[in-house]
Amino acid sequence: MHKHIALLQLLFSLLLLTSCASQPAKEIDQGSVAHTVITVETSTGRTVPVRAIYPTDSEPDPVGVILFSHGAFSDYDMYDRVTDAWAESGFLILAIRHIDSPKNPLNKSYTQDQQWKLRLEDMRTITYKLENIIAKISKLTRKVNTEQLVMSGHSYGAITAMAVAGAVTTDMNTKNKIRVANPGVKAVIAMSPPGLIPGYIEKNSFDQMTTPLLLQTGTADILENFIPEWEMHKAAYELSPAGEKWLTVGTDVDHYFGGLTGRFNLENAKPATEALASFVSLSNLFLSAYAKDDDKAAFLLKRKADSGSWSDTMTLETR
């Protein structure tokens, strides 16, 4: 048990980084996609920065909504290769700068135990205030269908997203179960989630997660002294109720696609450009199938899973 607690402490230690000054709110137009930083206030008066990423076209079809939770050692602006692509395909992405981000000036103001609950509070606050947030995005000309609601995240952010999609975690101090599931979530995309951590993420944590899931990992997705085997990332896929669960594994893909997402400038990293492009195309098809109820997309997903391969660099299976 002491070993497991030490592993959990290592996970949270990733969050205790030197704080940096947060960037001022600004709106950036990058052609087909724009970025706008806004702030949202929680019920306790805490201010949460949110980066809205959205298409700038005026297509008649409404856009769906994706809440994105970043990983440890990371921030909401380190996933543009993924989130911009989702925006281009017809979604408004609301990427949250959590309290543990190195760019959040308050990142050392809370204990490790508090940080997890604040992440969940961030997600709940954004879902409760969707209409107010949307009204603040002046350049978003397309209508928004808030019923097309998706949770997504990377690593620590992936378990954050899955918690809102039905996963149940455990309070390390009280041993009480933490349930924050939102029944309005239509799908969840989990990039390299941490797997099981006794006392925090248990084997039964995913028993109630019936939400359609796309889980991504890679055969080099290993974190020394914490996740020694890449297969550990598959826990949510293997332990959640069968039906509309999808797993994609990238050959030689590590935790950050070789420094393309989540963390940049990694020493000796080999960018997994082709694999990331494959994941983006797969995730877009998954979003079409489960957020936008596209039967043709769902059929194509099933056909590719039957073959066991999504691309030359990514496998695909379902259960």
Q: Encode pLDDT of 37-77 as tens digits.
A: 999 999 999 999 999 999 999 999 999 999 999 998 899 99
| Residue 13 pLDDT > 80 | no
Taking only the tens place, the pLDDT of each residue in 118-154 is 999 999 999 999 999 999 998 999 999 999 999 999 9
Question: Taking the model in full, what pTM does it have?
Answer: 0.91
Whole-angstrom Cα distance, residue 142 to residue 219?
A: 39
pLDDT of residue 29: 54
Burial degree of 295 (CB within 10 A; 0-12, 13-18, 19+): exposed
| Residue 6 pLDDT > 50 | no
Domain contains 318: no
Report, as an integer, the average pLDDT of 232-261. Answer: 98
pLDDT of residue 9: 44
Domain contains 237: yes
Domain contains 21: yes
The CATH number that applies at residue 68 is 3.40.50.1820
Whole-angstrom Cα distance, residue 162 to residue 63?
A: 22
**Domain count for the chain:** 1
Using pLDDT thresholds of 50, 70 and 90, give the confidence band for residue 30: low
Domain contains 303: no
The more confidently predicted of residues 19 and 58 is 58
For 315, residues 6+ apart whose C-beta sits below 8 A from its C-beta are 247, 248, 249, 251, 308, 309
pLDDT of residue 107: 82
Provide the token pair at 171: 């309070």
Domain contains 123: yes
Q: Which of 187-196, 265-274, 298-307 has the lowest mean pLDDT?
A: 265-274
Whole-angstrom Cα distance, residue 301 to residue 214?
A: 11
Q: Which of 24-28, 108-112, 174-178, 305-309 has the lowest mean pLDDT?
A: 24-28
Domain contains 305: no
Percent of the chain with pLDDT over 90: 83
Domain contains 280: no
Taking only the tens place, the pLDDT of each residue in 71-126 is 988 999 999 999 999 999 999 999 999 999 999 988 888 877 789 999 999 999 99
The more confidently predicted of residues 9 and 101 is 101
pLDDT of residue 21: 29
| Domain around 53 | 2-272
Is the separation of the CB atoms in 156 and 10 below 8 Å?
A: no
For 273, residues 6+ apart whose C-beta sits below 8 A from its C-beta are 258, 260
Q: Which of 12-21, 40-49, 93-102, 309-318 has the lowest mean pLDDT?
A: 12-21
**Residue 249: phi, psi to the nearest 5?**
-125, 125
Burial degree of 293 (CB within 10 A; 0-12, 13-18, 19+): exposed
| Residue 33 pLDDT > 50 | yes
Q: Where are the alpha helices (DSSP H) in 183-272?
A: 235-239
For 230, residues 6+ apart whose C-beta sits below 8 A from its C-beta are 217, 218, 219, 220, 221, 222
Domain contains 290: no
Average pLDDT over the chain, rounded to whole? 91
| Residue 243 pLDDT > 60 | yes
